Structure 1
Amino acid sequence: MQMALNQTPVTVITGYLGAGKTTLLNRILTETHGRRYAVVVNEFGEVGIDNDLIVNAEEEIFEMNNGCICCTVRGDLIRILGGLMRRRNRFDGIIVETTGLADPAPVAQTFFVDEDVRRQTKLDAIVTVADAMHLLGEIDRAPEAQEQLGFADIVLLNKTDLVTTNDLASVEARIRRINPYAGIHRTERCGIDLAKVLGRDAFNLDRVLEFEPGFLTEAHDHEHDDEISSLSLTADRQLDPARFVPWIQKVTQDFGPDILRMKGIIAMKDDDQRFVVQAVHMLLEGGSQRSWKPDENRISRLVFIGRGLPRDQLKQGFESCRV
C-alpha cells in the first residue's frame, strides 16, 4: 500500500443533481490558487463553464486562464487518464466529476484495477457535495443520494444559508448515520478554501485518523432503517492473520455488491506494523502501513458502509478472528 512518490493525486467529485458540483468545479477552474488541475467532466456543454475562461480548445482538452485544463469524458476514463499522464508535467492534480445520478464506485475502482492508472495516480479523496436544503427530502426517495454520501471521504454540506441552524444539525446527523468518518464542511455556494478539499490524501487511512480521531468509535454504530448505514467493529485483542485475511476476503466476495466502502486498521498478532485494509465493493486491498507508536492503543477497528449488511454475522466473524 505504499504510494510511489510521483503519483498524481486524483479527487473524485460527486453529489446529487443540483447540489452544487458545477459551482465547486468553476471555483477550481477560476480561482487563483497557484495550483494547476486537470478536470475531467462528463460532458463539457452540460457543465456550464464560461467559454470566456477557455484559452484554447484542442481535441478533448481545454485550457483555462488560471492554468487548469478541462477535458470531457466522451470516452473511457482509463483512456482519458492515459492521455493526461502523457502531459503530467502540466498539472498538479486531476479532478473527476461524476454525473448527479452516478454511483462513484466505478470511477473509484478504476484506481484499484488498472495497473498503469494505479502506478501513475492515486485516489486522493471522494468529495460529495450535498444540498443542505433538499437532502432530507431526497435521501429517502433517491438511493443515489445515500450512496454518494456512503462513498465520501469529504462532504461539502452546501447551501447552508438556506436552512435554519436546527435543520442543519438534523441534516448533519443524518449524514453521520450513513457515514461516520467523512469530514463535513458547511458551505454557501461551495465557498471553501480549496486546500480543505484538494490534496487531502483522505483516502489514506492515516489521514482519516488525523482529522477524524473519533473514526470508528462504537458510538457510531446505530441500528436504524436507512437503506445504507454504517457498522463499526472493534477488538482490543490482537487478531490472527491466518483467520482475519481469509475472513475479510470472503466477506468482500459474499457481500461486495452491498459494501460501498470498508476501511480498517488491524493489530495483527506478532506484528509491530499496523495492517490497513480497505475496499470499494469487491475490490479489496491491504498491507502494513507503519509501525505502531509506543503510546498507541493496539485496537483493531473495522468499519463497513453498505446496504442491508448482516450485522450480527459480520460481528461474530470479526470476533472469531481474535487471538
Structure 2
Amino acid sequence: MNVIDKIPVTVLTGYLGAGKTTLLNRILTEDHGKRYAVIVNEFGDVGIDNDLVVDADEEVFEMNNGCICCTVRGDLIRIIEGLMRRRDRFDAILVETTGLADPAPVAQTFFVDEDVRSKAKLDAIVTVVDARHLLGEIDRAHEAQEQLAFADIILLNKIDLVNEQELGAVESRIRRINPTAVIRKSQRCQVPLDQVIDRNAFDLGRVLELEPDFLEHFHDHDHDDHVTSFSLTSDAPLLPERFFPWIQSTSQRFGIDMLRMKGIIAFEDDDDRYVIQGVHMLLEGNHQRAWKPDEPRLTRIVFIGRDLPRDIIADGFDGCAASKMVPQQ
C-alpha cells in the first residue's frame, strides 16, 4: 500500500473543558463530504451527544451521518485492524483522547506496529486549548502541558472570552512549551476544518517542504516549567556513525521525558537533507530531498520534554560534528 493509499488518522486531544468534543461533533455533523471513523478512549468520558449515537453497546456502529464510531475497550491496534476490514465505509479515522490523557501511546502505535503502519498514517495531533482557563490550569495540570507538547496543530479556542493582552499571554505560554506547532484561533471551534483535518502535519518532511524555515525561527526557553523546549544547531556537518548511536542512546536514556523531537540533519559527504523525529523512545527518519545550492547546510534539532538535561544532550550532540575529535579509549 502506498503512502497515498494509507488511511489518515487525526488524534484530538485537549484538557478538560477545552472544547474537543465540540470540535469532534462539528466534524461528525458538517456537510464536508467525508466519512470518519471515530475511536474514543472511554465512551463515558467523551460526552458525544446522545442523539449522535445509534447503539453504544456495539463496538463498531453507524452514526446518523454515516460515520462509524468505535469505543476503545480493547487494544487500539486491534480496533484499527478491524476498521481496515470496513475500509470502504470511511475516508479517515479520528481518535479522541480523554481530557486527562497522554496522547503518546496513540502516536507510538504508528511507529511500533508494522501492520498498522502499513495501512494507516498519523496525520496530525490536534490539541484544543481553552484560552480563558489555560493560564490558571497549566502550572498545576501536567497533562495540559504534555498535550501541548505533543501537538502538531493547536486550536486556541474560546478567544471571545479573553482580551487581546490575555490572548497574547496565552500564546506566549504555549510557545514556551511548543515552538513549532501551528496555532489556529477559534470561538466554539468554528475554524475551517481543512485547517485541522487532513493536514499531513505529523510528516515533518512534508511540513518542511511547505515551510522550509519551520525549525529556524526558534529561541531557547529556559523556565522552571514542567515541560520546556530547546534547540541545538550545528554549522559543521555531522558524522552519521556518531549521530545515530548518540540519538538512539539519548532516546533510550531520556525517552520517558522526551515528549517530541524534530530535526533536520546535515551529514558529511551527503547531498540530501536527513529529517528525523521522535516520540518518547521511538525514532524515525529518512532522507528528504537534496540540499539546494544556496541553502545553508545547517543542522537543527528541537527537543520538547520534561526537565530534559540540556547540557548533557548538547554535549553529546556537539560530539557528533565532523570537526570534533573523539578521545581514544
Quote the residue 1:137 is aligned against.
136
Given residue 279 of structure 1, which amino acid in structure 2 is its aligned partner? Answer: G
5 Å-filtered alignment, 1:257-296, equals 257-296=256-295
Tell me if the contact between 2:39 and 2:95 (Cα under 8 Å) persists in the aligned partners: yes
Query: Could you say what secondary structure the match of 2:3 adopts?
Result: coil
Quote the residue 2:192 is aligned against.
193
Given residue 126 of structure 1, which amino acid in structure 2 is its aligned partner? Answer: I
Tell me if the contact between 2:12 and 2:20 (Cα under 8 Å) persists in the aligned partners: yes
Given residue 260 of structure 2, which amino acid in structure 1 is its aligned partner? Answer: R
Quote the residue 1:167 is aligned against.
166
d(CA) in 2 for partners of 1:57 and 1:73?
A: 12
5 Å-filtered alignment, 1:8-87, equals 8-54=7-53, 59-87=58-86
Seen in structure 2, the aligned counterparts of structure 1 residues 167 and 44 have a Cα distance that, compared at 3 Å, is same
Tell me if the contact between 1:16 and 1:130 (Cα under 8 Å) persists in the aligned partners: yes
d(CA) in 2 for partners of 1:183 and 1:247?
A: 29
Tell me if the contact between 1:218 and 1:233 (Cα under 8 Å) persists in the aligned partners: no
Given residue 224 of structure 2, which amino acid in structure 1 is its aligned partner? Answer: D
Equivalenced residue count is 322
Query: Could you say what secondary structure the match of 2:70 adopts?
Result: strand
d(CA) in 2 for partners of 1:301 and 1:51?
A: 48
Using structure 2 for the length normalisation, give the TM-score: 0.93
Root-mean-square deviation over aligned CA pairs: 1.8
Quote the residue 2:325 is aligned against.
none
Tell me if the contact between 2:138 and 2:144 (Cα under 8 Å) persists in the aligned partners: yes
CA offsets 1:93-123 (integer angstroms, 9 cap, x no match): 1110111111111111111111111110111
Given residue 239 of structure 2, which amino acid in structure 1 is its aligned partner? Answer: D
Seen in structure 2, the aligned counterparts of structure 1 residues 180 and 211 have a Cα distance that, compared at 3 Å, is farther
Tell me if the contact between 2:205 and 2:275 (Cα under 8 Å) persists in the aligned partners: no
Deviation at 1:211, TM superposition (A): 5.5
Query: Could you say what secondary structure the match of 2:255 adopts?
Result: helix
Q: Which range moves more in the overlay, 23-32 or 4-13? A: 4-13
Quote the residue 2:87 is aligned against.
88
d(CA) in 2 for partners of 1:89 and 1:80?
A: 16
Structure 1 residues not aligned, in runs of 5+? none
Seen in structure 2, the aligned counterparts of structure 1 residues 212 and 14 have a Cα distance that, compared at 3 Å, is farther
Deviation at 1:91, TM superposition (A): 1.3
Identity of counterpart residues, as a percentage? 70
Using structure 1 for the length normalisation, give the TM-score: 0.94
Structure 2 residues not aligned, in runs of 5+? 323-329
Given residue 34 of structure 1, which amino acid in structure 2 is its aligned partner? Answer: G
Deviation at 1:212, TM superposition (A): 5.1
